[in-house]
Structure 1
Amino acid sequence: MAPDSLERIRSTIRDVPDFPKPGIVFKDITPVLACPKLLAQTIEGMIEATGINQVDKVVGIDARGFIFGALIAARLGAGFIPVRKKGKLPWQTRGVDYALEYGTNSVEMHLDALAPGETVLLADDLLATGGTAGAALHLIQQSGARIVGSTFFIELGFLNGREKLAQHGPVHALITY
């Protein structure tokens, strides 16, 4: 991706101080999503960062990961698989609990979403501590599918989430803070 395009995307991300709680600076990506050119460049950049041009499925994590995952899947000619919060999928699921700073959470995926041997790319908007992405990768691994990597729009590098995901293949981020 051209440096000037990347800088335009970065400068369009809005910092929202003290959201969702005091001391946190939230990275608001909605201005990027609202601009068709920047959104298209973001999707292309996330794909380009991986070096991957073909996969069977792209898995996106509830909720903003659905945006990026579905657009990446469409661009790659792949299927899209949602990983959702517990109790939100209408069919038989497999789930995994994962630790948060203040407790636990759960995500699920349909049992028949992925077949053994299918190639899968994980896509999400944000890599922070790696808990949710790690849980999604665990679900993918349980299915017998082959993880080819993970791609994120933004990585908060100071939270070291990448370290938790490294065992599941290459980790890529378009923008790192």
Structure 2
Amino acid sequence: MEKLRAAIRDIPDFPRPGILFKDITPLVKNPVTLRLAVHHLLHPYLDREVTAVAGMEARGFIFGSLVAWELGVGFIPLRKPGKLPYDVQTINYDLEYGSAALEVHIDALGSGDKVLLVDDLLATGGTAKASCELVEALGAEIVACAFVVELDELKGREKLERYSVHSLLHY
């Protein structure tokens, strides 16, 4: 895990003053650390029944699609409004600084699907919780939520108490 930790750089005061941004771009640039992160994200789920991986726009697409590839299952993009061309299911949710929404095609998942939710970062948990609810609105089941980074002091895990949560790095 120290290789992964060393590949994440801190950017102070981004996107606004007082925020210490955890930048994963050096990690995904390096094929060794990218592969290591994907391996550790999916490893706990190798013996679990997972029929799809869902990831949130945008960095969840990076890790989620690679985890899906390795597990041999499909990838389900959870997108910002207006980005998907077909009929969608939408969820609106509150953030610490406003509100947001996510959408998924209505035929992306259904009953019997067992979904691993993957993203780069768990902070306050609002987006992850909304993502789980969006997946469940289509009748699918959340197997677990997996993150590269978890910011422990923001207590996002508490919003996901109904789900199994796996994070590689804790700050």
Band the TM-score falls in, shorter-chain normalisation: over 0.9
Amino acid in the other structure paired with 2:36: Q
- 2:46 touches 2:71 (CA, 8 Å); kept in 1? no
- Corresponding residue to 1:71 among 35, 46, 66: 66
Give 1:3's aligned residue: none
RMSD between aligned residues: 1.2
Identical aligned pairs, as a percentage? 51
More divergent stretch after superposition (125-134 vs 41-50): 41-50
- Corresponding residue to 1:161 among 150, 156, 160: 156
Amino acid in the other structure paired with 1:60: G
- Corresponding residue to 1:137 among 127, 132, 138: 132
Q: Unaligned stretches of 5+ in structure 1?
A: 1-5
More divergent stretch after superposition (96-105 vs 33-42): 96-105
- Corresponding residue to 1:56 among 30, 51, 56: 51
Amino acid in the other structure paired with 1:84: R
CA distance in 1, matches of 2:51, 2:45: 15
Amino acid in the other structure paired with 1:37: V
Summarize the alignment of residues 6-85 of structure 1 with structure 2, pairs less than 5 Å apart. Answer: 6-50=1-45, 52-85=47-80
Give 1:100's aligned residue: 95
Q: CA deviation at 1:48?
A: 2.0
Give 2:82's aligned residue: 87
Q: TM-score, normalised by structure 2?
A: 0.96
Q: Unaligned stretches of 5+ in structure 2?
A: none
More helix by share: 1
CA distance in 2, matches of 1:76, 1:49: 11
Residue-by-residue CA offset, 1:9-30 (whole Å, 9 max, x unaligned): 1011100111111111110111
Residue-by-residue CA offset, 1:69-124 (whole Å, 9 max, x unaligned): 00000000010000001111111000011001222111111000002111110000
Q: TM-score, normalised by structure 1?
A: 0.93
Summarize the alignment of residues 112-131 of structure 1 with structure 2, pairs less than 5 Å apart. Answer: 112-131=107-126
Aligned length: 171
The runs of 4+ residues in structure 1 deviating greater than 4 Å are 49-54
Residue-by-residue CA offset, 1:138-173 (whole Å, 9 max, x unaligned): 011111111110000000011000110121x20110
Q: CA deviation at 1:8?
A: 1.2
